[in-house]
Each structure stands twice: as C-alpha cells, then as structure tokens.
Structure 1
C-alpha cells in the first residue's frame, strides 16, 4: 500500500554483517530490526569495512530481544552521522509475542542504561496463573 517491500536474506545472512551491508545498499533498505548483540557485530564490521554512505538509505532501526546498551546507541549514531537514521529500543515479554514498550534513542543519549520506554498505545498485557487468575 505504501510502496515498501520486504527483502529476504539468504540462509544465515542475518548472522553475516557483510551480507547485511550489501543488502542495505543494493535494495536501499529503510527499516531493519536487530537483536543488540548482532547490532554490535554489525556496527563493528561496518565501522571498519566500508564507507557509511552504504547505509544512507536507513531511516529506522529497531532493537529488541536483549538489553540495548549505551555503547550500541553511541556506535549507531557515530556510524550513521549525517544520515536521517533513528534507533528505537523495543521491549516485550516473549510470552506476549508483541512489543509492548519502546524508547526512541536520541543522538545525544548519555545515560548509563537504555530505558525500555513507555507502553505502545492501546496495548494491554495480563500475566495469569493456570487458573486464569
């Protein structure tokens, strides 16, 4: 409806920073989702292996599944400096299978811990016992 498309990586491509960078550049990827540990690997690789213009199409990068660390935020904004990319920390218990909170990481983020943020509008989660209590 909006002209977007999904780009599928080859098997195991999500674990290879070179494949990720090539895919971003080739298909002009605008949004990506990383677990923070892979984001860290990708940032380290990208900072050494190529010019950051390869990432100029990125607009929104989401991180979830693990704790996002301040060094991830700093590394991301250092790598994407001069581009319009933003980093968003998502959080949601696995049992809910959806993200229920988010935090927009700003370029000037300087806190010792990245917050999980605020609830996404119109979202509720209940933790119940086997008896639905």
Structure 2
C-alpha cells in the first residue's frame, strides 16, 4: 500500500509541476499573474464515518482540480453532488489504493461543486478507512 501511496504522490507532484509550468508560461497580463492570483492547495485526510456519507470537498468557484487517493482496502464511491450519495447514486468508484485526478486536462471542464464520498462496506473497507484529498485552487 505504501508503494501505491508513493506512486500517487509522485503522480500528483508531476501534475502540479506541469500546472505550474503552464501557469508561468501564460505571460504577463494573464489571469495568473496580472491579477495577483496564486495557486493554493488544501490537503486533508477524510475518515470513513461508518456507513454514513462524508464530504470530501466543499464547493469552490476557484477550483483548478481535485485529487482523491483511496487509502483503504475497500472501494470508495464519489458523487459530484453536495447533497447525496448512495450505492446507486455516485459518479466515480475507485478501488483500494487508486487515485482519481479530477482536472481540466482530464475532463475538459471542471465541476466546482461539493464532492461526497461513501465507502463500499461489501468491498472490504475497514472501519479506519480514509481518503487523502488534495484540492488545487486560485487564491489571492
């Protein structure tokens, strides 16, 4: 599991480097440099709450991307919905040790609303399961 986590962090680092290089190359007067905006990140572990859904990230109009690493032994369902998620209502399902990269390059357009998560207990998710969530966003 540590190897998978290290690989996910290396992938995240490469994506961040690529994004920063792209932003530096955007030139003077662009949104990135002309308005004083900077790229910020928020990294947080989100723990499983029994069979209850958890909020992975809140809505953020300045979002540039979200990376979710399933650091558990079971599957994690993710809904691009801030109000509900069920075993029948979700957007993505990632296996144990997998990482979801939700960004403009991958999807072309970016959802700015909240993400909900729910571990699939039938897939072997432990009581102490957690997701490592990184959000990348514009900040002043």
TM-score category by the smaller chain? Answer: under 0.3
- Structure with a larger share of its residues in strand: 2
Q: TM-score, normalised by structure 2?
A: 0.26
- Structure with a larger share of its residues in helix: 1
Q: TM-score, normalised by structure 1?
A: 0.27
Q: Of the two structures, which has the highest relative contact order with CA contacts closer than 8 Å and spacing of 6 or more?
A: 2
